[in-house]
Amino acid sequence: MIGTARSELGRFAQQITEKTDWHQIREDIEVKICRGPDGNETFLLCRSASRSEKEKAMHERFSQRIDEGLQSLGRRIEKSKQTLDRGQLERQIGRLLGQNSRAAARYSISLLEDKTVPAGVRLKWNARPQWDDWARLSEGTYILRSNIHDWTDEQLWKTYIQLTEAEAAFRIQKSDLCIRPIWHHKQDRIKAHFLICFLAYVLWKTLQQWQSRAGLGRRSCSPQSVHEFTLVHRVSKGWRGWIAAFAGMTEPSCLRGEIEFSYKNTKAKDTGIAMFLAFVTRRRVKVILRAC
């Protein structure tokens, strides 16, 4: 299961345009299965509402920059009182399009020779309406490719999402757990480093599962947010005292309501273990790594 280049979207323009056979698998995700021309591959068209808004904002931002750049260049050419180097102007246009490549194909730009003006050239440009039509249609859409034929569209999409979870594991190692690359030379130390990284990640994922089971995963809370809170509010009077620390906070916290909710629902024991792991995992890993 792999992603496909955006340039392949044009092959499925008709399927993207059609409003039938789309299946909504999440609140903002809808998918559609398409068979390859030779029948050996399965393509999954995916459309994300949040991704569509993001790409639309990017196109608008890049288009605005190109508009402003071309308008500025046009005024410069009109006000020039001497002949301008055509090659230099073309390179300037190329740099402008290169810096805003996501919307560069939207424009048709040409430098026309005009001996009636001192600059000797005239800038002519316009936006292609067909590009705008295709952008509105394809924004937020991407293609997945697979050689599996008997899976449902939801199974295909969830399998691909697992790849993003694997990528997130590497980010957690570097950011949340702060396990930076350490250049060991002895085989024993290399193995020890791998073991510690793996154990730290296992504890981190266990913490995530316990958070979810304890009712801490309903909002934008994460093991990192729990860990940061434990650094400020140390446990001194058991978990009831820790919960009481939330009551004294002047500003609301996303964790405050979650932990009060979990405590009232007799899941505070799991929550306590999770808080302990959030604190111990990061600190102990650092100590062991320094000792390796």
Q: Would the pTM of this model clear 0.75, i.e. be above it?
A: no
What integer pLDDT is reported at residue 217 of this predicted model?
A: 54
Average pLDDT for residues 144-167, to the nearest whole number? 83
Average pLDDT for residues 191-212, to the nearest whole number? 75
The residue with greater pLDDT, 84 or 281, is: 84
pLDDT > 90? residue 88: yes
What integer pLDDT is reported at residue 244 of this predicted model?
A: 45
Average pLDDT for residues 170-197, to the nearest whole number? 74
pLDDT in tens, 244-259: 444 444 333 444 444 4
pLDDT in tens, 204-230: 777 777 776 766 654 445 666 665 555
What integer pLDDT is reported at residue 289 of this predicted model?
A: 42
Average pLDDT for residues 33-61, to the nearest whole number? 89
Most confident of the following: 15-19, 175-179, 203-207, 235-239: 15-19
In SS3 terms, the chain reads as CEECCHHHHHHHHHHHHCCCCCEEEECCEEEEEEECCCCCCEEEEEEEHHHHHHHHHHHHHHHHHHHHHHHHHHHHHHHCCCCCCHHHHHHHHHHHHHHCHHHHHHEEEEEEECCCCCCCEEEEEEECHHHHHHHHHHCCEEEEEECCCCCCHHHHHHHHHHHHHHHHHHHHHHCCCCCCCCCCCCHHHHHHHHHHHHHHHHHHHHHHHHHHHCCCCCCCCCHHHHHHHHHHCCCCCHHHHHHHHHHCCCCCCHHHHHHHHHHHCCCHHHHHHHHHHHHHHHHHHHHHHHHC
* pLDDT band at residue 186 using 50, 70 and 90 as cut-offs: confident
